[in-house]
């Protein structure tokens, strides 16, 4: 061996040792910690029918190799250690999401690979409770229920969470005789004409049902034979002219998400145990009644309410919900509730009405707003509002506030007053009875941020406050941005 060849060999050996040292820290991680990492990485295993019928487009277009959407299967193929851990952990195989298309032909050899993969997941999950998401496109198979659904129906005794989206009539696919002994979370979405009381009856034998989300109208829920007595969480639609008194069928209800496309509510039975109400308006902006929130506040009496969320969801409409100050005051007074969380989005409200509303909510610890509009133009987050929030104010608003989130679509904003207000609530005089603000989220969608003005907040982030600020230049996921003294203003 020449001297040159020996030197090359020594360099290669040294390089190999260096590479090993780079890998060794992970190799030394205990299996218990690796397993926790795997659990986080394998929360969603997505299987899509293949080949998808040429007559339609799949709801989700895959842009990566199939294995990229099956993290548990991918992990089990990396090395002996990872495979052993994956095979010894049935829970990693128990979270499955399936997309299936109706087809006139029988299952082909190519499609059998999709079915085989689903069978593999069900087999390796052993007897672990299953979290299943099923989305179908098109009506029921000519030859009966879809093959993937047939497979899943063989394991209903293990369904802990089931989510369905599609236009199949579930009663024809599932029937009404199957039992779901451990089913706790149920989501059923589709056209109102499909999600009827008869289709909800498919889940009548679910004694532990706790949470339900459905696009069925309230009447369909009322007429179904499902036992609603133990349900604590509901996400439901209210259609034109429906009576909210039907909610008395849910005596254990603590969380209600009400989606309405109708603005006339009749006063309803008090909801004694409800602690969270989310009101979503689906009315087209051209048809929206300015008294929508007024009617909603008048309709409800909720003595245990702790969380209130209000926003419109109408396909990008720029129309805002009109705030009803007197009705809101009456609602809070009548309910005598201790509200701790308030979230308002796309609401037209003046700064004085906003201050007035917050004045009667001294127990609020979390306050978030998005796209609020002043009735006279601009934003209600004015200098007057900020001075009312300042700890030096005679009677500061929201003395218990710990989390503040603002998404502003307005171009004018008193930055200096805002920075001063936030700073005053970081470490305030205990004698004033004001809690320390722990989290600040601020986003400007239509303007830039002057970094020098907001520099004092960097120190607050360094001292422990969670500070997130973005402006018009930010293109990523807002929730994932941390603006801090370490990174400055994120403009990625």
* Confidence at 288, pLDDT banded by 50, 70, 90: low
HSE, side-chain direction, 13 A CA sphere, residue 122: 22
pLDDT for 23 equals 57
2, 7, 22, 24, 430 from 11: Cα distances, Å? 14, 6, 17, 20, 65
The rounded mean pLDDT for the chain is: 83
25-77 residue pLDDT tens: 777 889 999 999 999 999 999 999 887 776 778 888 888 999 999 999 999 99
| Better pLDDT: 7 or 412 | 412
Comparison of pLDDT for 306 and 283, the residue scoring more: 306
Max avg pLDDT among 171-175, 336-340, 372-376, 447-451 = 336-340
pLDDT tens for residues 411-452? Answer: 788 999 999 999 999 876 667 789 999 999 999 888 888 888
**Residue of higher predicted confidence among 4 and 371:** 371
- pLDDT of 20 above 50: yes
pLDDT confidence of residue 308: 96
Rounded to an integer, the average pLDDT of 389-394 is 91
Q: Residue 67 class from Cβ within 10 Å (0-12 exposed, 13-18 middle, 19+ buried)?
A: exposed
pLDDT value of residue 351 = 93
Between 65-69, 93-97, 124-128, 290-294, the lowest mean confidence (pLDDT) is in 290-294
Compute the distance between CA of residue 167 and CA of residue 170 in angstroms, rounded to an integer: 9
DSSP 3-state of 136:
strand
Q: Flag whether pLDDT at 87 surpasses 90.
A: yes
Mean pLDDT of all residues in 336-364: 95
116-132 burial by CB neighbour count: b if 16+ within 10 A, else e? ebbeebbebbeebbbbb
Model confidence over 320-330: pLDDT tens digits?
A: 889 999 999 99
Residue 265 has pLDDT above 70, yes or no: no
pLDDT of residue 488: 40
Q: Residue holding tokens 């001297």?
A: 3
Render pLDDT for 296-335 as a digit per residue (tens, 0 to 9).
Answer: 898 889 999 999 999 887 555 556 889 999 999 999 999 9
Instruction: Give the model's pLDDT for residue 318.
Output: 56
Mean pLDDT, residues 459-466 = 90
Stretch 113-133: mean pLDDT: 94
In the prediction, which pLDDT does 170 show? 80
Task: Please report the DSSP string for 230-289 in residue order.
Answer: T--EEEEEE-TT--GGGGGG-TT--EEEEEES----------SS--EEEEEE---GGG--
Confidence of residue 142 (pLDDT cuts 50, 70, 90): very low
Q: What is the pLDDT of residue 111?
A: 61
pLDDT of residue 449: 83
Residue 283 clears pLDDT 90, i.e. is over it: no
The pLDDT value recorded for residue 106 is: 55
Q: Token pair for residue 250?
A: 């849910």
- Here the tokens at position 206 are 């679910």
Per-domain boundaries in the chain = 23-134+142-154, 349-492
Output the pLDDT for position 404. Answer: 96
How much is the pLDDT for 247? 82
CATH code, 349-492: 3.80.10
Contact 341, 307 (CB under 8 A): yes
**Lowest pLDDT segment from 1-10, 255-264, 290-299, 406-415:** 1-10
Alpha-carbon distance 446 to 432, whole Å?
36
At 149-188, the pLDDT tens digits run 889 999 999 999 999 988 777 877 887 789 999 999 999 9
Residues facing residue 484 across a β-bridge: 488
């Amino acid at each position: 061996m020449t001297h040159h060849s020996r030197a090359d060999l020594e360099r290669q050996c040294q390089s190999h040792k260096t590479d090993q040292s780079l890998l060794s820290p992970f190799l030394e991680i205990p299996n218990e910690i690796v397993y926790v990492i795997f659990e986080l990485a394998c929360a969603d295993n997505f299987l899509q029918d293949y080949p998808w019928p040429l007559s339609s487009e799949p709801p989700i277009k895959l842009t990566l190799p199939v294995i990229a959407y099956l993290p548990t299967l991918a992990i089990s193929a990396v090395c002996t250690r990872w495979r052993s851990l994956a095979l010894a952990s049935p829970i990693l195989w128990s979270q499955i999401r399936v997309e299936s298309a109706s087809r006139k032909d029988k299952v082909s050899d190519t499609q059998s690979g999709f079915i085989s993969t689903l069978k593999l997941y069900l087999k390796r999950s052993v007897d672990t409770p299953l979290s299943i998401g099923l989305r179908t496109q098109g009506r029921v198979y000519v030859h009966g229920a879809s093959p993937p659904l047939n497979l899943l129906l063989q394991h209903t005794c293990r369904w802990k969470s089931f989510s369905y989206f599609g236009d199949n009539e579930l009663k024809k696919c599932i029937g009404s005789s199957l039992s779901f002994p451990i089913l706790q979370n149920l989501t059923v979405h589709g056209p109102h004409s499909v999600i009827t009381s008869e289709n909800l009856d498919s889940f009548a034998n679910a004694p532990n049902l706790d949470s339900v989300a459905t696009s069925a109208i309230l009447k369909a829920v009322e007429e179904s034979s499902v036992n609603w007595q133990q349900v604590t969480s509901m996400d439901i639609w209210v259609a034109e002219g429906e009576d909210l008194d039907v909610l008395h069928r849910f005596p254990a209800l603590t969380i209600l998400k009400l989606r309405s496309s109708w603005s006339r509510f009749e006063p309803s039975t008090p909801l004694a145990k409800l602690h969270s109400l989310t009101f979503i308006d689906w009315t087209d902006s051209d048809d929206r009644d300015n008294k929508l929130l007024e009617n909603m506040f008048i309709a409800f009496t909720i003595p245990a309410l702790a969380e209130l969320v209000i926003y419109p969801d109408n396909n990008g409409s720029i129309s805002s919900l009109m705030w009803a100050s007197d009705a809101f005051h009456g609602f809070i007074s009548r309910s005598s509730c201790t509200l701790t969380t308030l979230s308002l989005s796309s609401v037209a409200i003046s700064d004085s009405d906003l201050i007035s509303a917050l004045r009667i909510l001294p127990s609020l610890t979390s306050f978030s707003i998005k796209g609020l509009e002043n009735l006279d133009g601009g934003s209600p987050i004015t200098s007057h509002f900020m001075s009312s929030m300042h700890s030096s104010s005679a009677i500061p608003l929201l003395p218990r506030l710990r989390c503040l989130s603002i998404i502003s679509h307005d171009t004018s904003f008193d930055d200096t007053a805002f920075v001063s207000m936030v700073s005053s609530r970081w470490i305030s005089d205990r004698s004033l009875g004001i809690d320390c603000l722990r989290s600040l989220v601020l986003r400007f969608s239509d303007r830039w941020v002057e970094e020098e003005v907001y520099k004092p907040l960097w120190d607050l982030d360094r001292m422990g406050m969670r500070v997130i600020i973005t402006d018009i230049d930010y293109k990523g996921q807002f929730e994932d941005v941390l603006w801090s003294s370490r990174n400055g203003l994120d403009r990625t």
